[in-house]
């Protein structure tokens, strides 16, 4: 039995977390019922999601 590497799982987890953070952040930013201060906090989620996606892409290139 060959030893399987765990890098693809990390790559997928980073990508999935990134997509979820961007989704929830944009949802918060677009919701007009929230006060402006709360809406602006959604940009932190979007930025964090973009960083997770960038890390996922960098890992995909590095492992390949």
Asked if residue 51 belongs to a domain, the reply is: yes
pLDDT at 2: 57
Q: Are 39 and 29 in contact (CB under 8 A)?
A: yes
Q: Any idea what DSSP says for residue 2?
A: P
Cα–Cα distance, 48 to 60 (Å, whole number): 18
Asked if residue 40 belongs to a domain, the reply is: yes
The structural domain count of the chain equals 1
Q: Are 29 and 41 in contact (CB under 8 A)?
A: no
Asked if residue 7 belongs to a domain, the reply is: no
Asked if residue 34 belongs to a domain, the reply is: yes
Instruction: Render pLDDT for 9-52 as a digit per residue (tens, 0 to 9).
Output: 888 899 999 999 999 999 999 999 999 999 999 999 999 999 99
Asked if residue 15 belongs to a domain, the reply is: no
Ranges of H-type helices in the chain: 7-30, 36-63
Cα–Cα distance, 8 to 22 (Å, whole number): 21
Asked if residue 33 belongs to a domain, the reply is: yes
Asked if residue 19 belongs to a domain, the reply is: no
- Look at the block and give the residue holding tokens 């997770």: 52
Domain coverage including residue 28 = 24-64
């Amino acid at each position: 039995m060959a030893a399987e590497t765990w890098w693809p799982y990390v790559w997928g987890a980073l990508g999935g977390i990134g997509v979820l953070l961007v989704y929830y952040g944009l949802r918060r930013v677009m919701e007009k019922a929230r006060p402006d201060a709360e809406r602006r906090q959604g940009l932190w989620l979007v930025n964090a999601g973009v960083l997770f996606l960038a890390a996922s892409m960098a890992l995909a290139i590095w492992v390949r």
